[in-house]
Amino acid sequence: MKNQEKKVYPHQLPEEEYRKKLDADSYRVLREKGTERAFTGEYYLNKASGIYECKACGNEIFHSSKKYDSGCGWPSFTEPVRPDAIDVHMDYTHGMIREEILCANCGSHLGHRFPDGPSNQGGIRYCINSVSLDFKNGEN
């Protein structure tokens, strides 16, 4: 799907609800497609076992067993918990061609997907903003 605005997400809230629910940085990233600075995110170096969820709706997005240190400055994963947890859209902003990752439940921006991940794990890197996630410790 090329134009995300035409898709209706099952758990999408009115923007005023997101403004109440999310802190300013999370709102800017999740709802306005921003990004956090590299090497500053809360989960960049997190090595605990658990589940990463969309901060806007609680949808399970990534399991810690699929997280790895790519050196890019953001949490990186090799695959989502299930293929239908995310939507992928082409992003042509900032003079680049990238694949944007959105939460399949609420349509919130999570980060981007690149073809430079570990070759022995599918070759895909999901580069995700920490402020777009919540982490639930100990869920294996």
Domain residue ranges in the chain: 37-137
Tell me which residue has tokens 């109440």.
20
Summarised one tens digit per residue, pLDDT across range 66-117 is 999 999 999 999 999 999 999 999 999 888 899 999 999 999 999 999 999 9
Tokens of 39: 């090497």
Closest among 77, 86, 92 to 130, alpha carbons compared? 77
Residue 87 CA: distances (Å) to CA of 8, 44, 81, 107, 112:
12, 22, 13, 8, 11
CATH topology of domain 37-137: 2.170.150
Tokens of 108: 């919130």
Which residue in 54, 57, 106, 127 is the catalytic one?
Answer: 127
Summarised one tens digit per residue, pLDDT across range 42-51 is 999 999 999 9
Tokens of 13: 């809230």
pLDDT for 4: 46
Is 72 one of the annotated active-site residues of the chain? Answer: no
Summarised one tens digit per residue, pLDDT across range 10-57 is 889 999 999 999 999 999 999 999 999 999 999 999 999 999 999 999
pTM: 0.90
